[in-house]
Amino acid sequence: MTHSISEKPYKGLGMEGAVARWYASLTYKSLDEFRALARRVAEQVPPGSQILEVAPGPGYFAIELAKLGDYQVTGLDISHTFVEIARGKAGQAGVKVDFRHGDAAHMPFADGSFDFLFCRAAFKNFSEPVRALEEMYRVLKPGGCAQVIDLRRDAPMQSISQAVEGMRLGRMDALLTKLTFRFMLLRRAYTRQDFEQFLSQTKFGPNDINESSLGLELSLYRTQAT
Ligand SMILES: C[S@@+](CC[C@H](N)C(=O)[O-])C[C@H]1O[C@@H](n2cnc3c(N)ncnc32)[C@H](O)[C@@H]1O
């Protein structure tokens, strides 16, 4: 059954300041996972491609991808703190990634700008999810693909506990992370049926939606020029 959230208010508090810095240090411990994801994307996306990461946060995935090949990588995030952190990290890594401030539901890009789009652990936070999907479609080139990876609303607590244990966090961070999953993230997340309902309101055609014990992974293709 779908739940009725089609718009959520974004109050601009979300992930700024100390919260963003805490998230950046926490997820740095999962750098291997970002590297593996970047390698997986590099296997499917040819060199020279224009790639957009929507909501990159501290930018680990985008930076790892930029290290792997001749890609033009852009990141778009609504948090000023994250844009600043991500720009700093790209500078330290010596790679060029264009990290910009902006809203997934109102992207500052021309139609058909990107060959590939990636969005991880962020879609559930978007205040206008259908609008964000429409924007993904608009900024993709015909033939382009958007990959969206996020938590499943119906993920069992046991899978969440296992995932948090795999993050190699200290006791306090592990506890805080489990509580965040339980009381914030699961409540915001979507089911497969929610995604199907959102997608039916967009121009994306039949799509692949794969489920794992913890999350959903969508591969969305723009097949048409309009
Ligand atoms: C949990 S973080 C995920 C960051 C990163 N993708 C990762 O995998 O670690 C969620 C991100 O979504 C961003 N965000 C939330 N609403 C947004 C919006 N409407 N447009 C762009 N970014 C947004 C937040 O600022 C934050 O960077």
Q: What is the pLDDT of residues 50-71, one digit of tens each?
A: 999 999 999 999 999 999 999 9
Tell me the one-letter amino acid at 98: D
* Ligand 1: nearest atom to the Cα of 119: 6
pLDDT per position as a tens digit, 65-100: 999 999 999 999 999 999 999 999 999 999 999 999
pLDDT at 5: 54
pLDDT at 106: 97
pLDDT at 207: 81
From residue 25, alpha-carbon distances to 19, 97, 101, 193 in Å are 10, 20, 21, 33
Neighbours of 81 (CB within 10 A): 20
* Ligand 1: nearest atom to the Cα of 105: 19
pLDDT per position as a tens digit, 185-201: 899 999 999 999 999 99
Q: Is 159 exposed, middle or buried (0-12, 13-18, 19+ CB in 10 A)?
A: middle
pLDDT per position as a tens digit, 21-52: 999 999 999 999 999 999 999 999 999 999 99
Mutate to test the pocket of ligand 1, among 33, 78, 128 (most ligand atoms within 8 A of CB): 78
Q: How many angstroms is it from 57 CA to the middle of ligand 1?
A: 5
Q: Is residue 151 predicted with pLDDT exceeding 50? A: yes
Write down the CATH number for the domain with range 17-154+190-221: 3.40.50.150
More confident residue, 12 or 163: 163
Percent of the chain with pLDDT over 70: 94
* Ligand 1: nearest atom to the Cα of 132: 19
Percent of the chain with pLDDT over 90: 77
216 lines ligand 1 (CB under 6 A): no
pTM equals 0.92
Q: What is the DSSP letter of 6?
A: S
pLDDT at 2: 46
